[in-house]
């Protein structure tokens, strides 16, 4: 990330320098003058935001589960759908028998 030092842009990693240009900087977004935002913990609400579907849990018999798709094989094969029971948290795959 480049930072300003007087009339130069200076890379914080390697120290490379580049002269500043007022015309080019007019459209840039900087962190200068910005207020720090409040950090919000979404960990509890995150689980409720996942999509659910009708799926029978093999452990407790519940009929709702969170689901997600993951590519676990090569790219030319279809994704695998994973379920997590909304009641007991048991996890299983769509192709498990």
Residues within the annotated binding site? 11, 14, 57, 60, 85, 88
- pLDDT tens for each residue of 12-62: 888 889 888 877 776 766 666 666 666 666 565 555 678 899 999 999 999
| List of domains in the chain | 49-93 (2.20.25.10)
Token code pair at residue 4: 């300003």
Residue 1 has which token pair? 């990330």
Phi and psi, residue 85, nearest 5°: -60, 135
Q: Which of 1-10, 49-58, 70-79 has the highest mean pLDDT?
A: 49-58
Binding residues for Zn(2+), as ranges, are 11, 14, 57, 60, 85, 88
Q: From CA 62, how far away is CA 7, in angstroms rounded?
A: 65
89: which 2 tokens?
A: 């948290």
pLDDT of residue 97: 42
Residue pair 69/77 in contact (Cβ under 8 Å)? The answer is no
Specify whether the backbone of 15 is left (phi greater than 0), alpha (psi in -120 to 50) or beta.
left
């Amino acid at each position: 990330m480049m930072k300003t030092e007087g009339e130069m842009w200076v890379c914080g990693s390697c120290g490379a320098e580049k002269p500043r240009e007022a015309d080019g900087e007019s459209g840039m977004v900087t962190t200068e003058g910005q207020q720090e935002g409040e950090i919000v913990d979404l960990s509890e609400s995150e689980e409720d935001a996942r999509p659910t579907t009708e799926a029978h849990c093999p452990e407790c018999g519940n009929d709702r589960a969170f689901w997600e798709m993951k590519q676990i094989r090569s790219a030319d094969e279809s994704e695998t759908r994973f379920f997590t029971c909304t009641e007991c948290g048991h996890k299983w795959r769509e192709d498990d028998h």
